[in-house]
Amino acid sequence: MLQIPYLRDHREIAIKALTTKKLPHAAQTLDALFKLDDERRRVLTLCEHNQATLNQQAKAVGLAMKNGLPQEAEKIKGEVAVLKEQTAALGAQVQALEGEIHQQLVRLPNLPHKSVPEGNGPDQNEVVLLSDPNAENIQRPQPHWDLATQYRLIDFELGVKVTGAGFPVYTGQGAKIQRALIQYFLDFNTAAGYTEIQPPILINEDSGFGTGQLPDKEGQMYFVTEDRLYLAPTAEVPVTNLYRDLLLQENDLPILNTAYTPCFRREAGSYGKDVRGLNRLHQFDKVEIVQIVHPDQSYAILEVMKNHVAQLVTSLGMPFRILRLCGGDMGFASALTYDFEIWSAGQGRWLEISSVSNFESFQTNRLRLRFKEKESGKNRLAHSLNGSALALPRILAALLEFYQEEDGIRIPDALLPYTGFTKITRPSP
């Protein structure tokens, strides 16, 4: 959530930034907001002034009673009645205005960082790294869904029976390699200083609000009606919300967490080649990294996180690229996002496997996550960042395709300690 004082002080920049983020009528929206806020302050001042008078009168009553002047006390009580009513009305007005301002403020997306390219969609994302200039010429004969079925790694039909489309069942070496990937990713992250967390996977409404999924993105999350809980779409939600409503000391920062969780997304409206095989699922596994940092360092740390994920992807030996997302393709809460895409050699397309973002204070403002700055003694909002390290299904898809050979699927070296086998072999008929 953005802050009105900042928006007031940087009106032109904010308008430009919101326009980059594809918010229509940014100038009018902001000016309307400022006007509401002016009104709020005007009424608030009146209201507080009245309240100060009332407080004084209440004291006077107490004093009169103490001095044995009950008729004096009664007189003041009579005088106060009208003012009290007026003040209550003003208070209600302030509340209404605050509600309206909040509603509008909550709908504003985060302001993109100045390095974010303008653009409407994926075509205008900027490629900042291509691990292998020859990547797109790498072709493999079979797509992962054929391999997964042949080698009996994943049973899509069985998942349909148990739950529905988009809920695959991993079996045998398929299940094992999933577990190996999860463990490898977690080990890689903890070795870099991240503390492993096992968070709840169901989240409440406050948590959904804190990281920016709610309101407006209800449609993306599964909802448990009976208990009013959402299934987490990413570990980002429970892990970041661990720090909701906190006042930290400056030297508590930075906080580094990593978590493996299943993730649940409704993905309403997806179809065609995008949902084939492992490309897009309703339930999938992901290992996430989250950092809570000092605001002055968040962009330096974003680069560190980007490099961390790049190392992890590199260690799997498959071609990938890193994109700086353009304004039109970025998420609601993000100020700067790097997407990682891996080359799917059996499909001949890029698949997103990680998204590393700096949210600046957009989430922490909603979370009321602050720290006491040593030098100034002031409380400042921390910055939050997160990224996938990594999302499993598309990694598995690319891996099966890339490492397919005549007699099986080779396991990349980095995973060998975790799988216990060097090759996925054809099951006996």
| E strands, 66-152, in order | 126-130
| Nearest-approach distance from CB 374 to RNA, in angstroms | 6
By the rule CB under 7 A, 426 interacts with RNA: no
| Nearest-approach distance from CB 408 to RNA, in angstroms | 37
Q: Specify the DSSP element, H or E, that contains 314.
A: helix 298-314
Name the segment binding RNA (CB under 7 A); options: 73-81, 153-161, 302-310, 325-333: 73-81
In this structure, are residues 192 and 308 in contact, taking their beta carbons and an 8 Å threshold? yes
Name the segment binding RNA (CB under 7 A); options: 16-24, 48-56, 164-172, 345-353: 48-56
Which of 28, 163, 195, 249 touches RNA by CB under 7 A?
249
The whole-angstrom separation of Cα 224 and Cα 218 is 12
By the rule CB under 7 A, 69 interacts with RNA: no
By the rule CB under 7 A, 244 interacts with RNA: no
Per-residue three-class SS string for 204-218? CHHHHHHCCCCCCCH
N-term to C-term CA, the chain? 57
Which of 30, 61, 326, 367 touches RNA by CB under 7 A?
61
Which of 51, 149, 220, 315 touches RNA by CB under 7 A?
51
Helices 173-191 and 298-314 meet at what angle, rounded to 10? 140
Q: Which is nearer to RNA, 134 or 376 (CB)?
A: 376
By the rule CB under 7 A, 80 interacts with RNA: yes
Site track 24-43 with RNA (rule: CB under 7 A), x = hit: -------------x---x--
Angle at 259 between CA 151 and CA 371, to 5 degrees: 160
By the rule CB under 7 A, 105 interacts with RNA: no
| Nearest-approach distance from CB 43 to RNA, in angstroms | 9
- Tokens 């099966």, residue located: 400
By the rule CB under 7 A, 422 interacts with RNA: no
By the rule CB under 7 A, 96 interacts with RNA: no
Q: Which is nearer to RNA, 31 or 274 (CB)?
A: 31
The whole-angstrom separation of Cα 344 and Cα 62 is 79
In this structure, are residues 220 and 265 in contact, taking their beta carbons and an 8 Å threshold? yes
Which of 58, 69, 128, 158 touches RNA by CB under 7 A?
58
By the rule CB under 7 A, 198 interacts with RNA: no
Name the segment binding RNA (CB under 7 A); options: 57-65, 165-173, 278-286, 395-403: 57-65
Q: Which is nearer to RNA, 114 or 374 (CB)?
A: 374
Q: Which is nearer to RNA, 137 or 249 (CB)?
A: 249
The whole-angstrom separation of Cα 240 and Cα 203 is 12
The whole-angstrom separation of Cα 100 and Cα 95 is 9
By the rule CB under 7 A, 52 interacts with RNA: yes
By the rule CB under 7 A, 282 interacts with RNA: no
Select from 128, 127, 131, 135 the least CA-distant residue to 402: 135
By the rule CB under 7 A, 162 interacts with RNA: no
Q: Three-class SS of residue 378?
A: coil
Which of 65, 69, 129, 300 touches RNA by CB under 7 A?
65
Interface with RNA: number of residues (CB under 7 A)? 34
In this structure, are residues 138 and 345 in contact, taking their beta carbons and an 8 Å threshold? yes
The whole-angstrom separation of Cα 102 and Cα 68 is 48
Alpha helices (H) along 353-391: 362-367
What does the block give as tokens for 166?
Answer: 């988009």
Which of 11, 16, 75, 77 touches RNA by CB under 7 A?
77
Which of 9, 25, 31, 55 touches RNA by CB under 7 A?
55
Cis check for the bond before 24: say yes or no (omega within 30 of 0): no
Site track 356-375 with RNA (rule: CB under 7 A), x = hit: --------------x-x-x-
In this structure, are residues 153 and 173 in contact, taking their beta carbons and an 8 Å threshold? yes
By the rule CB under 7 A, 423 interacts with RNA: no
Q: Which is nearer to RNA, 44 or 201 (CB)?
A: 44
Cross-strand pairs, 224:
229
H helices, E strands: number in the chain: 13, 19
Round the CA-based radius of gyration of the chain to a whole number and report it: 27
Binding site for RNA (CB under 7 A): 4-5, 37, 41, 44-45, 48-49, 51-52, 54-59, 61-63, 65-66, 73, 76-77, 80-81, 84, 247, 249, 370, 372, 374, 377, 379
